[in-house]
Structure 1
Amino acid sequence: MGQQLDDELKIYKRIEGALRNIQVASTSDLCWTPLTSVGLKTNIGVSCIPRYGEMTLHRLFLALDYLHTECKIIHTGTVFSPDLELDHFLINISDIKADNIMFGIADDSVFSDFENNELQNPCPRKELDGRTIYTSRALRMPKNLGAPVLCDFGSAVMGDEQHSEDIQPDIYRAPEVILQVPWSYSVDIWNVGCVVWNLYEGGSLFSGQDPEYQTYRSRAHLAEITRLLGPPSPSFLARGNLTKDYFTEEGGLCAGELVGDHIPLEQRETSLEGEEKEMFLRLVRKMLQWEPEKRSSAMELEQDEWVQAELHK
């Protein structure tokens, strides 16, 4: 834990060093609501679009562009631990997911209501070893949210160093991570592509569930990616230290029976129609590519036609 805190401090120092302007608001924006809670508590599920989605994506791409180009930081990076509960809020695998996109609370009445409720109906508490332990009291969902903020840099890594270690929660693992191809900033882009789909469609693109083992397996995940994107190029496979564990010399998946029929994104997307659907799918394809070099940068994604169209509706 101590080393992780030291590493996180280094990341924040690098971010601070790259800042041109630092704004400090000591009495505001001290409490934040995760994006998943926004959807759940407003009874609109994970698909909290369009109410917050366009602003969230725009700010997320701006944040990543700043991290990648100015700070030389990769948000998603740590040694993978399969024993971690992936849905836990305090997960040690730092990744770009809905729980790591926080909104400021711009509605101060939330806090005054909280104070009044505590004064009128104090929550249960007990004394233990000289300390007072209070039962948690939930905050009311605010009517107005502040700007979204990308958080949790506990396992971010320097982008100006070479990486090949295993990272990311199972369903967000980029192809280069699975095959142990040296990875860089583009793992964040793959991560965002998975999150964007999850937010708009209300479900994950990949599960990695292997029918033989009834749990996550990399071969099943690769089969799902192949089913969606088609087979990877020989040049990409040649760069992976673990390629031989999953692919034949001819480039076919060893567990080819898991691939099944090709299911394009058009068939998977069900919430949009017409030109809006086509623009959304073009955005997703810019992020979900086998080869890291073919994924768009955060700056390019911030200027994407669909993001800009949604932002200015």
Structure 2
Amino acid sequence: MTNIITTNGLCKQYGSAMGVKDLDLTVPEGVIYGFLGPNGAGKSTTMKMILGLAKPTCGTITVFDKLVNSKNRLSILKETGSLIESPSYYAHLTGKENLKIISTLKELPDHEVDRVLKLVRLEKQKDKKVGQYSLGMKQRLGLAAALLGNPKLLVLDEPTNGLDPAGIQEIRELICSLPHSFGMTVMVSSHLLSEIDQMAGHIGVISRGELVFQDRLSVLHDRSDSCIAIRTLNNEAASNVLSSQGISCQEDGSFLLIPRLSDRKLAEYFLQFLKNEIGVVRIEERKKTLEDIFLELTGMAVNL
């Protein structure tokens, strides 16, 4: 599979602090690549360097098999759409007029503006001044601007910021359709783990400027080993019964955790509990969520 974005040893230093350190990203063609990390992990800085908006301290970036430098930057940007941090706009102009300016600069036909407005569900607000837009509408306008001209690569930094639940779902569905409908490769960052989980096929996790995981999302989910949690009226006795059957268990508060078993096996062990007059008061299946795995990778439980 061809990689649309590749970085090698990418670093960005601010004074004595390393904002991004030795980053080796690979974003395959035609996928949605989720870029996850806590606030301040280096996501926006990395995306700015990919787009040529920030200069790396060291390392290289390749986009469309071209090195990102002053010579190639414009040719790369012609095939790239982006929304980094908050969108830029002219508040005294309408949404359509803002997009028309960008469309003219890109030498695109007039109907392209109407197309992207419809894609982001802003066609009914196109003649309203952007200064009167809500935060969510401004975010949609920024996404519309990024979609002008059907770019091969779309780089989105927190694209659902400021949207209500219905708006988040609409934008998520739109992003998910882009690789199949338009052949786009999408790199999307977020600290909303559930959003990335529902959009991305590939994922990179960054923590304190360093890449701590990169692979298919399915590989990350494979780490979520499930187990059975049991609470009884006599956990010590229940543990002895399980141990006598060769089942290892560990304590977790008032619960005993055992490996996932078939329904038949569980029924057999519960029958043993009954024979030993051990009352079972609760049983549940537990599985690590993407957030649990994320916290393990980053070692952080705050700033999510």
Q: Name which one, 1 or 2, has greater alpha-carbon Rg.
A: 2
Q: Greater strand share, 1 or 2?
A: 2
User: So what's the TM-score if we normalise by structure 1?
Assistant: 0.25
User: So what's the TM-score if we normalise by structure 2?
Assistant: 0.26
Q: Greater helix share, 1 or 2?
A: 1
